Amino acid sequence: MRRVVVTGLGMINSVGQDKESSFSAILNGECGIKKIELFDAEKFSVKIAGEIIGFDPSEVMDAKEVKKADRFIHLGLKASKEAIIDANIGESVDRERFGISSASGIGGLPNIEKNSVVCETRGPRRISPFFIPSSLVNMLGGFVSIEHGIKGPNLSSVTACAAGTHAIAEASKTIMLDGADVMLVVGAESAICGAGIGGFASMKALSTNNENPKESSRPFDADRNGFVMGEGAGALVLEEYEHAVARGAKIYAEVVGFGESGDANHITTPVVDGPLRAMKAAMRMAGDVKVDYINAHGTSTPANDKNETAAVKELFGGAENCPPMSSIKGQIGHCLGAAGAIEAVVSLMAMRDGKLPPTINYTTKDENCDLDYVSNGVRDAELNVVMSNSFGFGGTNGVVIFKKI
């Protein structure tokens, strides 16, 4: 089986518009959650989100073309461009052996909402001709592949909050099975609109701490009361090891394990068993490795944080054997289908710099959440192996393990 390494990274979220500024802000415990500006949320029970402020899509698309793509595609183009530049992918890379694995949980929900209103109020003839191609999840991969001349496999994962992690696994499988030499992974999401916020709020999934937005996302804390919607994109260039070495690429880490599972339990309520089996599968594939850090799914919901903690304790044989684990969702919110890609980028940068990102807003201990959540600020640590977890609605789970070379 061919080896897969990571040679490029890119990221945009509510605390930074590139990987370095984002990672620095995350390490510093900065929070990008604030009052919603993308739409008028005054009548909504939830009025806060992790929005990206000041992003100009004309940075990555011709201004005349911007309206042809939804915001999640704009964000994906931004992160993808950074990752490709970081990997130094030049014209010498065979474009027919260069593929893409994209991911989003919902895709162009703002455009779906907008054109549904147009259809109802102004009639079907007034629907934008760009509506469908701007909204489909796989058009993220379509737009990015056209922009960068990527002619290899063009894949797409639409598995709720596990989509970004599943996209990494799909890209890795493609390279391992000789379907490509290089794969760009990009996960992007921007569902901060009336339908998105209203829909999740109606499920009682979101925090309603509108008065204190920066303290609203509280992973593993006893006072957590729901997740906060975020938006953003993460991108990784995956490459066959010998191919990367031959062109002198810098290597962040090797993908040594990934695992996938289904809960088969409930459409929205998570369990311990599904995430545990996904982590076990990733560990079996990785072989004899010692995990130094876990980037948790850590949504700040009562059920997820308790269950993820229980699954990690069972995996490692008790709390005393568990590595440090933290969640960055307190800083940037939950970016849904982009979360796995963004969190993989953060995990790899943590490995690069030897810095554990903190879990902010953890102030009150929950007896069911009793692990080391790096709650006292950024911590120095030697990281040789890191695990990143993603669990989604429908009971879909994804885990990936990276190892320093």
Residues involved in catalysis: 161, 297, 334
- The answer to whether the beta carbons of residues 271 and 283 sit under 8 Å apart is no
Residues pairing with 233 in the sheet: 12, 188
CA angle 333, 99, 13 (to 5 degrees): 15
- The answer to whether the beta carbons of residues 249 and 218 sit under 8 Å apart is no
Residue of 103, 111, 207, 110 lying closest to 156 (CA atoms):
103
How far apart are the C-alpha atoms of 10 and 342, rounded to whole Å? Answer: 8
Of the chain, the end-to-end C-alpha distance in Å amounts to 17
- The answer to whether the beta carbons of residues 342 and 232 sit under 8 Å apart is yes
Residue of 186, 178, 175 lying closest to 84 (CA atoms):
186
Q: Which residues contact 43 (CB under 8 A, 6 or more apart)?
A: none
Residues making up the chain, counted from first to last: 405
Q: Which residues contact 92 (CB under 8 A, 6 or more apart)?
A: 247
Residue of 101, 47, 107 lying closest to 71 (CA atoms):
107
